[in-house]
């Protein structure tokens, strides 16, 4: 038996599934770019700045688009549901994140309270790092305790929402129709979150059914942790250069 035949035999369907999933995750991270930092396309930015009056459907669309392309949110959610198998548990954690995210987004925009966008997005990067380390059991080994994962999900949801509020405040939205438009945007965010979560769960479902899932779970979370550190470094570099 030659070398190529040996490689083909070892390249089992389980390993191909794991390889494709991890490759897709890595490509997602490499392609994220500016989207890491609550990026908003120039066309959308101009529309938000020039809009006046109640525009419920357009702002719902913008909210859904933001979530589907918001890689920082998706990476955190990916980490949150990584080892969750029951829909009840997934629903609880996603709801906690949504409550946190919605609360600070509305509060920040309506009160005009903001913070340095680079610092907030760096904390969001740390939320991804935290969840990856939690999935790897690092806190039990290092500290001998397990942090409250539900509380952490809610708290980091606050930061994710505040980061978005800080970005929205930069657009100086018209006060005419501000509250309905914000509610529409938030509804869109939750719709986008459900759509993205559905796609992630489908992919995870296929991967979890393979024998290689447990073997590659650690590697996947190392990649997730690396993405979080990349985001932190990207934001801190922007802070220094600003």
pLDDT digits (tens, 9 = 90+) for 152-184: 999 999 998 998 888 888 777 888 888 998 999
Q: Which of 62, 36, 34 lies closest to 47 in space, CA to CA?
A: 62
Give the Cβ contact number of residue 78 at 10 Å: 25
Q: Report the number of secondary-structure helices (H) and strands (E) in the chain.
A: 11, 0
Return d(Cα 202, Cα 18) in angstroms, integer.
Answer: 14
pLDDT at position 44: 67
Among the residues of 70-177, which ranges form H helices?
Answer: 71-81, 87-111, 117-135, 138-143, 149-170
pLDDT tens sequence for the chain (242 residues): 443 343 334 445 555 555 555 555 555 554 544 444 455 565 666 777 777 788 889 889 888 887 877 778 888 989 999 999 889 999 999 999 999 989 999 999 899 888 888 899 999 999 999 999 999 999 988 988 888 999 999 999 999 899 888 888 877 788 888 899 899 988 998 898 888 888 889 888 888 888 888 888 888 899 899 989 988 998 999 889 87
Return d(Cα 138, Cα 146) in angstroms, integer.
Answer: 9
Return d(Cα 52, Cα 173) in angstroms, integer.
Answer: 8
Helix (H) or strand (E) holding 211: none
CA distances from 181 to 35, 122, 126, 178, 216 (A): 22, 27, 30, 5, 43
The answer to whether the CB of 67 falls within 8 A of the CB of 192 is yes
Supply the Cα-derived Rg of the chain in whole angstroms.
19
Q: Encoding tokens for residue 181? A: 């438009």
Return d(Cα 109, Cα 22) in angstroms, integer.
Answer: 37
Contacts of 156 (CB under 8 A, 6+ apart): 76, 97, 100, 124, 127, 130
Q: Encoding tokens for residue 90? A: 């997934």
């Amino acid at each position: 038996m030659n070398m190529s035949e040996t490689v083909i035999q070892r390249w089992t369907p389980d390993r191909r599934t794991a390889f494709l999933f991890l490759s897709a995750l890595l490509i997602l991270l490499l392609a994220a770019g500016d989207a890491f930092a609550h990026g908003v396309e120039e066309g959308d930015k101009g529309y938000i700045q020039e809009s006046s009056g109640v525009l419920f459907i357009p702002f719902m669309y913008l909210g859904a688009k933001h979530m589907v392309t918001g890689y920082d949110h998706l990476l955190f959610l990916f980490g949150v549901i990584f080892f969750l198998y029951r829909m009840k548990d997934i629903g609880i954690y996603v709801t906690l994140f949504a409550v946190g995210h919605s609360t600070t987004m509305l509060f920040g925009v309506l009160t005009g309270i903001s913070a340095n966008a680079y610092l907030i997005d760096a904390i969001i990067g740390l939320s991804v790092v935290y969840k990856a380390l939690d999935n790897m059991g690092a806190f039990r080994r290092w500290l001998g305790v397990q942090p409250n994962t539900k509380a952490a999900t809610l708290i980091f949801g606050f930061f994710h929402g505040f980061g978005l509020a800080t970005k929205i405040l930069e657009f100086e939205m018209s006060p005419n129709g501000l509250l309905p438009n914000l509610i529409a945007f938030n509804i869109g965010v939750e719709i986008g979150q459900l759509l993205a979560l559905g796609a992630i769960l489908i992919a995870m479902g296929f991967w979890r059914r393979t024998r290689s899932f447990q073997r590659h779970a650690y590697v996947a979370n190392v990649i997730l942790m690396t993405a979080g550190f990349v985001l932190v470094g990207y934001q801190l570099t922007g802070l220094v250069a600003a």
